[in-house]
Amino acid sequence: MRGFYYITDRKLSSKPDVDGVREAVEGGAAVVQYREKELDPVEKSEIAAEMKRICEGRAVFLINDNVDIALEVDADGVHLGQEDTPLAEARRLLGPDRIIGVTVHNVEEALAAEAGCADYVAASPIYATSTKEDAGEPAGLELIVDVKAAVKIPVAAIGGIDESNIDDVVSARADMACAISATVTKEDIRAAVEYFARKWTK
């Protein structure tokens, strides 16, 4: 897994999440994560199914912390936070072939995720972020470097990443990076994603 990692945010987005995902995929997003904590399960499932169709054969499609919906819409996998569904439980339900990513805040959590058969980890937060109130203190680029040195699975970077610091994130050898505010809030999400996606194709 390598490239730009697009995460939806209905409250921040300039347009409906499905439209944002369509533009993100057109812009070259390698991974799309549908993150929605509030809508009812039926509506979430319908939206996820449409996103899955958009991503089919073009981008990895993951659901944030909802194994049931991931299975229902045949998503490629799920992304889990430290307080979400336990990794072992998610793996048992999803089987060996679907992708599971885990947010980590230090090397210890990254090693535990790798030992638990996670497919990638998301090092967070690299910089100060406004999209997640409980993200914690920013750890800086050192977190990417340290986690990359500790694990063999891909490492995504998340938290406060934008146009001003993406080059530093890529230089720290992040396999993927998320830039929520710098993409979902834009009127032209495709162009915004394309800017970041190009960083892995140079």
Domain boundaries, the chain: 3-200
pLDDT tens by residue, 154-164? 999 999 999 99
The DSSP code for 191 is H
User: Closest Cα to residue 185, out of 2, 5, 6, 4?
Assistant: 6
Q: For 131-156, how does the pLDDT look when each residue is reduced to its tens digit (9 = 90+)?
A: 656 657 899 999 999 999 999 999 99
What pLDDT, on a 0 to 100 scale, did the predictor assign at position 137?
84
Range in 1-10, 132-141, 170-179 the model is least confident about? 132-141
The DSSP letter of residue 89 is H
* Percent of the residues in the chain that have a pLDDT greater than 70, as a whole number: 97
The answer to whether 126 and 139 have CB atoms below 8 angstroms apart is yes
| pTM for this entry | 0.96
Residue 134's pLDDT is what? Answer: 64
For residue 202, pLDDT over 80 is answered with no
Average pLDDT (56-75) is 97
Contact of 200 with 4, CB cutoff 8 Å: yes
pLDDT in tens, 85-100: 999 999 999 999 999 9
Decide if pLDDT at 57 tops 70.
yes
Task: Tell me the CATH number for domain 3-200.
Answer: 3.20.20.70
Percent of the chain with pLDDT over 90: 93
